[in-house]
Structure 1
Amino acid sequence: MITNLWLIGIGTGSESHVTLEGRQALREAATILLPLKGEDKDDLAKLRQRIIASSGTNAQVLTFEYPVRDLALPYLARVNAWHDEIARRWQLALDAAGVHGPTALLVWGDPALYDSTIRIAQRLSPAPRLRVIPGITAVQALTAAHAIPLNTVNGPVTITTGRRLRDEGWPEGAETLVVLLDGETSFTHLDLADLYIWWGAYLGSPEQILIEGPAAEVSQQIIESRAAARTQHGWIMDSYLLRRVGMAGE
């Protein structure tokens, strides 16, 4: 039974993206849950293991196999079934180990920004007491890597997903658009003529890749770089920011 569950943001996988509070929580945790996502994504587990080791924790590390989504189901049903199965596997791993004390789980990006770990935790019964510790978000890492502000002067910022961008196009009234969770370079579905893009992958890591420029001119470079990197590493974590050309330098 999990009574205390600590969700620790780890940014985009760099050890330096974990806050001092996050490192202290890792040292104080009794158990750390570590998902395994298959051999082709073994680097993801190794990144988490390096963060755990560098924290100096003596916590017991429990692994569990990450389930895959059932692509035969409609999208929302697919996600709900997937979340149910993840929660079940957390519970099985912890029950088998007879865990006592706080349990920590490392979360890519930020536990509250386009991440479902909090929702998955709420599926556990009885529901654990949650503690959420943010790390550096992908949005922060992206703008810092390109040395740009997130917003224009007094301007709004819209954060969306690749799926919504493909399905709905440029959001009405958007000025600065940040796109996360995009596996298909969905910006290519837009009219690129007046867009400027800042794109980044593996942010904060030695493998970091940054590309920026008028979207029409650099889109093919992004597509090719992304495909090559994914083939090389077996996975990719990327994000990008879009603005109208007239606002790109504001």
Structure 2
Amino acid sequence: MTGEDHRRILVIGIGAGDPDHVTLAAVRAMRDCEVFFLLDKGARVSELTRLRRNLVAEHAGPGHRVVRAEDPRRDRSPTGPAAYQARVVDWRHRRADLYEQLIRDELAPGRTGAFLVWGDPALYDSTIDALEEVADRGAVPFTYDVIPGVSSVSVLAARHRTTLTRLGRPVRIAPGRHVAASGLAEDEDVAVMLDVGAALSAHHREEGWWMYWGAYVGTPEELLVSGPLADVADRVLELRATARERHGWIMDACLLRAESRAGAREAGGVEKPLRWRAAAGAPHC
């Protein structure tokens, strides 16, 4: 393919919600794009679509075009691990079908299009997998590049004034369902993304663990809680339920680490206090 006849796709990480977390690389990438594909997840999360449109309006170059499409719906009814995995695979196949249609019908050869992805698309997102499936099919020739963004777990650690990693200790990044089933291991810390409630419901009585939790991090509705897991988990589950009812959706993450390895103590052996913090306008923690 030559530069004149191939389509180019940019997968642009736009951070966890704070417009100031959009990187200079992401801004430059948006200025190079002629078509922006925005997937609409329905009225319940219309705020996310609005935020993406605002970023496009602020940073995109002249003459750009926005193409909206309805994201395929996932079956989220309770189920076992095997059925859940099958449903996710089916949803990703249908997403690949949609991507193929959008690239073929809305992006002319020689043009550049973009998908704006929350957080860092290289960390935990299905966009790259869907594009790989479309590329493997070979029906619509294109190339793509990934522009990394500021991830929600990075913002979570920064908001709590801590680090994701500690000296000589690994950190595992896993969905809540996996953490609920596998348990907590003393030899590693865990950053939980997706289904955080499942992990907390399974381990909310675990002693010896410290939790840093955040929801809507990087947005005006940000919620933050830290403290011993056994002391704050039930309160966090209540906050999650209240926030989901209020907004119609929730995006949250947490970092779990063993207190015996400095989770509950700062330098000099001083214990960290429980911290409850909410952004202005958010429900009181």
Q: Secondary structure at the match of 2:225?
A: strand
Residue 223 (structure 2) pairs with residue 209 (structure 1): yes
Contact residue 121 and residue 127 of structure 1 kept, 8 A: no
For residue 113 of structure 1, the aligned residue among 116, 120, 123 is: 123
Match of 1:178 in 2: 191
Counterpart Cα distance in 2 of 1:62 and 1:178:
34
Counterpart Cα distance in 2 of 1:183 and 1:151:
19
Contact residue 169 and residue 187 of structure 2 kept, 8 A: no
Deviation of 1:47 (Å) = 1.4
Match of 2:44 in 1: 40
Contact residue 13 and residue 121 of structure 2 kept, 8 A: yes
TM-score normalized with structure 2 length? 0.81
Q: Which amino acid aligns with 1:89?
A: L
Counterpart Cα distance in 1 of 2:132 and 2:160:
36
Residue 74 (structure 2) pairs with residue 69 (structure 1): yes
The within-5 A match list for 1:63-142 is 63-70=68-75, 74-100=83-109, 101-124=111-134, 125=138, 126=140, 128-142=142-156
**More displaced 10-residue stretch of structure 1: 165-174 or 134-143:** 165-174
Return 5+ residue gaps in structure 1 as ranges: none
Match of 1:30 in 2: 34
Residue 177 (structure 2) pairs with residue 153 (structure 1): no
Deviation of 1:155 (Å) = 2.1
**More displaced 10-residue stretch of structure 1: 6-15 or 119-128:** 119-128
Match of 1:7 in 2: 11
Contact residue 143 and residue 150 of structure 1 kept, 8 A: yes
Contact residue 191 and residue 256 of structure 2 kept, 8 A: yes
Q: Secondary structure at the match of 2:213?
A: strand
Counterpart Cα distance in 1 of 2:25 and 2:13:
10
Q: Secondary structure at the match of 1:57?
A: coil
Contact residue 5 and residue 128 of structure 1 kept, 8 A: yes
Return 5+ residue gaps in structure 2 as ranges: 267-285
Distance 1:68 1:2, change over 3 A: farther
Q: Which amino acid aligns with 2:58?
A: S
Q: Which amino acid aligns with 1:188?
A: S
Counterpart Cα distance in 2 of 1:222 and 1:32:
36
Q: Which amino acid aligns with 1:233?
A: H
> Paired residues, what number?
249
Contact residue 29 and residue 104 of structure 1 kept, 8 A: yes
Deviation of 1:54 (Å) = 2.0
Deviation of 1:233 (Å) = 1.2
Percent same amino acid at aligned positions? 36
Match of 2:278 in 1: none
Which structure has the larger Rg over C-alpha atoms? 2
1:188-240 superposed Cα distances (whole Å, 9 cap, x missing partner): 31242111100001111111110001111111221111111111111111100
CA RMSD of aligned residues (A): 2.0
Contact residue 2 and residue 94 of structure 1 kept, 8 A: no
1:22-75 superposed Cα distances (whole Å, 9 cap, x missing partner): 011111101110000111111110111122122143321101101112468823
Contact residue 12 and residue 237 of structure 1 kept, 8 A: no
Contact residue 175 and residue 196 of structure 2 kept, 8 A: no
Contact residue 13 and residue 48 of structure 1 kept, 8 A: no
Q: Which has the higher contact order (CA 8 A, sep 6+)?
A: 1
1:145-177 superposed Cα distances (whole Å, 9 cap, x missing partner): 111122222322121110111121124732x21
Counterpart Cα distance in 1 of 2:141 and 2:185:
36
